[in-house]
Structure 1
C-alpha cells in the first residue's frame, strides 16, 4: 500500500512540475508587451519591416504607452497618450532640455509625465502642444500619418531625429 501511495505522489509531482515549466515557458515567450521601458510602463513592439512605427489607435488611453524604436543601432522611444480632450498626442520620450544627459526621459505619475533628470512635471494635455523647454520632444502632425486606425511615424523621421538619443541610457 505504501508503494502505491509513493508512485501516485511521484506521478502527481512530475505532472505538476511539467505544468509549472510549461506555464513559465509560455509566460517568458509571450510577445507584444513588456515593462522594461525607461518609463517603467508597458511598451509594444510596433516597428514594421521598413522601420516605420505603426501605433494602433485602439491601444492609446490616458495612461501613456511607450514604443521602443531602433534606428541603425540607436535606441529611441516614442510615447503616445490620449489627452484629457480626447486627442491622441505623440512625442519622443526624451526631454528637450535634458536629453543630452541621457537621463532626460519621462515616467508617468498620475496625469503627469515627470522628467527623470530634473524632476520637471509635464501635464498630458501639453504633450505635442508645447515645444522648447523641459518637456517631451513633440512629434507634430507633419511628421506622422494619422488615420482612424493607426498613427504611422516613418523611419526617415527617426533617422533625422536620432541625435537626440545619442546619450540616452537605454533600459533594453
Structure 2
C-alpha cells in the first residue's frame, strides 16, 4: 500500500511539472496560481521598430523606456525576432529576447505583461522587469548580448540574425 501512495505522489508531481512546460518554477509564479485572474490588469502592449546604424547595429532609444515593456521587432530576413526593452527598478535599461529559454520552440513561448510582471504564455511562470536580461537558464526571457551606448541599447544585427531560428515557430504578437 505504501508503494502505491508513493507512486501516486510521484505521478502528481510529474504531471505538475509537465503542465508548467518546464522543470524550474519561478519564485514569482505563485501570484499567477493563487491570484485572482479576473482582477489582473493587462497593459496595452507597445511595439516599436528599432533604428539601424550604419555599422550594423540595432538601436533602441532609452528615452522611451519605462517600467512597462516595449516590444522591439527586428526583421531577420523575413523572420521577426522580438526583444523586450524595459527600464528596471534601479533605473538601468534591460533588453532580452521575447522568448522563454525553457519553453522555446513552443509557438506560445513569449511574454506578456500582467500586473507589472512578465508572464510566459506557454508555462505561466512570472518574472519581474528586473529579471529581463539578467537571469540565465531555466524559464525566463532569453538573454542577448547588448550594450548601453549613450541614449541607446545597442545589439549587433549579426547576433539577432543568429537568434532568428528561435522565432521560426514563434506566434507572439508583433503589432
Fold-level similarity (TM above 0.5) = yes
**What's the CA shift string for 1:67-113, capped at 9, x where partnerless?**
11110111110111111111111000000011211111000112210
Q: Which has the higher helix share?
A: 1
Aligned length: 131
Whole-Å separation in 2 of the counterparts to 1:112 and 1:171: 17
SS of corresponding position for 2:68? coil
Question: Structure 1 residue 43 and structure 2 residue 70: aligned?
Answer: no
Instruction: Name the counterpart of 1:116.
Output: 121
Question: Structure 1 residue 92 and structure 2 residue 97: aligned?
Answer: yes
Whole-Å separation in 2 of the counterparts to 1:44 and 1:130: 24
1:132 Cα deviation after fit? 0.7
Which is further off, 51-60 or 81-90? 51-60
Whole-Å separation in 2 of the counterparts to 1:57 and 1:47: 12
Instruction: Name the counterpart of 2:109.
Output: 104
Unpaired runs of 5+ residues, structure 1, are: 1-38
Report 1:1-172 matches (<5 A).
41-48=45-52, 52-139=57-144, 143-172=145-174
Segments ≥4 residues shifted beyond 4 Å: none
Partners of 1:40 and 1:107 within 8 A in 2: no
SS of corresponding position for 1:100? coil
Whole-Å separation in 2 of the counterparts to 1:40 and 1:93: 16
Q: TM-score, normalized by length of structure 2? A: 0.69
- CA RMSD in angstroms comes to 1.8
Whole-Å separation in 1 of the counterparts to 2:53 and 2:154: 13
Whole-Å separation in 1 of the counterparts to 2:45 and 2:58: 18
Unpaired runs of 5+ residues, structure 2, are: 1-42
